[in-house]
Every structure is written in C-alpha cells, then in structure tokens.
Amino acid sequence: MQNKITGVIFDMDGVLCDSERFICDAAMEMFLRRYETKVHPNDFLPFIGAGENRYICGVGEKYGIEIKLPDDKTCMYEIYLELIKGQLPPLDGVLDFMATMRSCGVKLAVASAADRIKVDGNLAEIGLSQESFDAVITGSDVTKHKPDPECFLMAAEAIGVSPENTLVVEDANNGCLAAKAAGAMCLGLTTSFPTEQLIASGADWTAAHLGCVPDELMKILTG
C-alpha cells in the first residue's frame, strides 16, 4: 500500500527556480578573476546538488587549483546575486502546486544543498518568503551534503512528518539518492538531468516541472 504523503520537501535549484546557469556563470567568472583560469559548464555537472563547497572545489581539483574557502565562495556569491536580479522567476507550476498542497493540509519545506545566502537570494527573486514554508533547511545548516540524507531528515523532523510520509522534489541525481537514503518518496524533475538518470538514482516519478505532476502522484497527494 502506498504511504500517505503529508509533507513535501523541495530542493531549490532546478525545482523552485532555474538558477543552475547563473551559479555556473558566477563560478566560471570567479575562476577567471581569482585564478585566471577558464573552466567550462560541463566541469560542474558531477557536483550539482552536492553543495557549493564541493561545486567549486571539485572543479578546482580538476584544474589543479586549491580553492580558498570562504573567500572564493564569497566572490562567487557576489557575482551570482548580481546576475539573478530580475532574471529568476519561479519555474512553471511552482506556485499553483504549493497552493494545492496547502489546501490539502500538506506541510511544505525547502531542503537545499546551497548556502543560506543563495537560498535567501533565490526566494526573494521568485517572490517567496521564508514564511511560505514550514521549514527552510540549507547547506549552512548541515554537516553532510547530498547524496547524504541529512538535509531531508532534518527537514522532515522540522515539519513533524516521518520521512516515509514525505515526498522529496529533486532535479539532481545526488538529490534523488539522498531522498531514497532518507526513506522518502521522490519526484524527479528533468530540468537538469534526463529521466533515465533520475530513475536510476531512485526517483519514483518524473516530470518536466511541477505543472505536470503525474496523475498517479497527484491522486496520492490530494487523496
């Protein structure tokens, strides 16, 4: 029998908004400014969803660069927050899906590997406040990043819902792996990775965005 879903935990990037290209552009510019090194978008793909430390350190390792934290990350975020001004709407279906979940009494949380400064900046740009959610967990709140399930377990506890009664909405392979490790159900959105990769990483359902959630899942959510 399918578990009842009483909580939905959203990843941020690629789920609520499409900021991947902006953080990638900001990171590439950081490498240029601070190390005079041209890196490429594909360099970052293995590290999507693993937190910004790993995001830039992983690419640094590839090019033999020892990343200086937190200074390099601070530089990246300064560039990022300028890039997203007026350029970061919510993804299709986000606001309607959240409204539907609220009407059904489902608790809502964000659990992002991104640092608090990035999450706060994203929420402000897409027109959602911290109060739009029952809990907001960021990479600044955890010690282990996806694919470790810590952020999802922390979010489930914060909203008072057992992991097995939560749906995690993710767009990254690392995030889907973390959701399943937490014991949650998982909807994988194909904004960053193709369907077959998300399913291989544990997604129970996939969709292009929150405006076209599979009927089977919507019945579970609203039933």
Q: Which of 13, 18, 171, 204 is catalytic?
A: 13
For the question of residue 43 being annotated catalytic, the response is no
- The two tokens of residue 1 are 């029998």
3-state DSSP assignment of residue 37:
coil
Alpha helices in the chain (DSSP H): 20-35, 52-62, 71-83, 94-103, 116-126, 150-159, 173-182, 195-200, 215-222
For the question of residue 13 being annotated catalytic, the response is yes
> What angle (nearest 5°) sits at the alpha carbon of residue 73, between those of residues 72 and 79?
95
Helix (H) or strand (E) holding 7: strand 7-10
- Edge-first strand order for the sheet with 205-207 is 135-137, 107-111, 7-10, 166-170, 185-189, 205-207
Cα 71 versus chain centre, distance: 23
Tell me, what DSSP letter sits at residue 17?
B
Q: What's the one-letter identity of residue 64?
A: G
Sign of CA dihedral 208, 49, 81, 108: positive
User: Which residues make beta-bridge pairs with 98?
Assistant: none
Q: Which amino acids are annotated catalytic?
A: 11, 13
